[in-house]
Structure 1
Amino acid sequence: MSGKTITIFGSSKPIEGEPEYEFARKLGYELGKLGFTICNGGYGGTMEATARGAKEAGAKTIGVTVLTFQSVPNKWIDEEIKAKDLFERLKILISKGDAYIVLRGGTGTLVEFSLVWELMNKALIEPKPFVAVKFWSPIFEAMSKQLKYELRENAISFVKIIDDIDEIVNFVKKSLQ
């Protein structure tokens, strides 16, 4: 799987030892063991955790930071890409990904989830493996109803709701072979 990049979106809040952080760290590790590069927002929380897990597995990491935040990337980032603003950051995170994983998060993560889905829905990017954890199920279900109403049922198939690390990793691995 070397050469493929997985963009992972998630919260900046979880800290080491919290279940959400440890889930992200193990996910990064398992993806890293397969040789995937991990790309994320480069800061703390699940961004740090997925990068840390990937580095512990010997994989490469990319952090897409934002100049306006004036923050430094976490120590697990190999390559920092500095975006001038959030919009450029979104564009870079999406363009780097061969697959996308959306972990728990707030409004920023919701924007990322929605944007990837919308770009696939409108055929502005090619469909790629796209996983969201169960946390996003209520939004996925509500949007699925609306997409059916709008006669865009094919867009529902772009998102897979998976809450198990092994299942996520296997889905991404199979999809990118």
Structure 2
Amino acid sequence: MSAICVYCASGPVDDTFISLAAELGTAIGSGGHTLVSGGGNISMMGAVAEATRAAGGPTVGIIPRALMEREVADLGADELVVTETMRERKRLMDERADGFITMPGGIGTLEELFETWTGGYLGMHDKPVVLLDPFGFYAPLLGWLDDLSGRGFVSRAALDRLLVAESVVTAIQLATHR
């Protein structure tokens, strides 16, 4: 099966988003996939990891030493990799994943999404990059990106490279299809 890297919030969010993370984790684990995550055990990041394991799926957490306490490291991970830098963390997450799913999150989540999406568009990898957005969280961002495309700043090919899913089932299908 596939290793799916999930980007999402590591800060407090409401139960709607925690439930979405748990639903995604359950689908990853019950589908026989491996979760690759940022290695935290709080908020959405913790919920997706716990649900993946509860559904029988292995988890790989990759966390920089400097965030071990801030994000409260996922010591229950099947494999917890501690890096010295954020760049090393992201490199290892990229290498270990067969596909990427981004859920709602803040600037760190957005940075990971844009770096992975850009890398795919530039031919650095051919892995699927999926935006899981069942609640319209990213609607303003997608509208802005569409406007940028209309102005010639973002190509239609780049926009087409970002796969948007409104359900967990669709996100998993897209992230595991190559």
TM over 0.5: yes
2:145–2:154 CA contact under 8 A, matched in 1: no
Q: What displacement does 1:118 show?
A: 1.0
> Equivalent residue for 2:130?
131
Name which of structure 1's ranges 69-78 and 156-165 shifts more when overlaid on structure 2.
69-78
User: How do 1:1-177 and structure 2 match up within 5 A?
Assistant: 1=1, 4-14=2-12, 18-43=15-40, 44-71=42-69, 72-126=72-126, 128-132=127-131, 133=133, 134-147=136-149, 149-150=152-153, 152-173=155-176, 175-176=177-178
Q: Which amino acid aligns with 2:63?
A: T
Partner Cα distance (1:169, 1:150) in 2: 30
Q: Which amino acid aligns with 1:9?
A: Y
Partner Cα distance (2:168, 2:95) in 1: 24
Partner Cα distance (1:151, 1:105) in 2: 22
Question: Could you report, residue by residue, the CA deviation over 1:39-72 in whole angstroms, capped at 9, with x for unpaired residues?
Answer: 1111121111111111011110000111122425
TM-score (ref. length: structure 2): 0.86
Which secondary structure does the structure 2 equivalent of 1:12 belong to? coil
Structure 2: state its 5+ residue gaps. none
Partner Cα distance (2:63, 2:175) in 1: 25
Which secondary structure does the structure 2 equivalent of 1:38 belong to? strand
Q: What displacement does 1:75 show?
A: 4.2
Kindly report the root-mean-square deviation, in angstroms, between the aligned alpha carbons of the 2 structures. Answer: 2.0
Q: What displacement does 1:135 show?
A: 1.8
Which secondary structure does the structure 2 equivalent of 1:77 belong to? coil
Q: What displacement does 1:152 show?
A: 2.6
TM-score (ref. length: structure 1): 0.87
Partner Cα distance (2:34, 2:18) in 1: 19
Describe the shift of the 1:137–1:161 C-alpha distance in structure 2 as closer, same or farther (beyond 3 A): farther
Partner Cα distance (2:47, 2:166) in 1: 17
Question: How many equivalent residue pairs?
Answer: 171
Structure 1: state its 5+ residue gaps. none
Q: What displacement does 1:151 show?
A: 6.7
Partner Cα distance (1:32, 1:70) in 2: 24
Partner Cα distance (2:82, 2:101) in 1: 21
Partner Cα distance (1:42, 1:70) in 2: 8
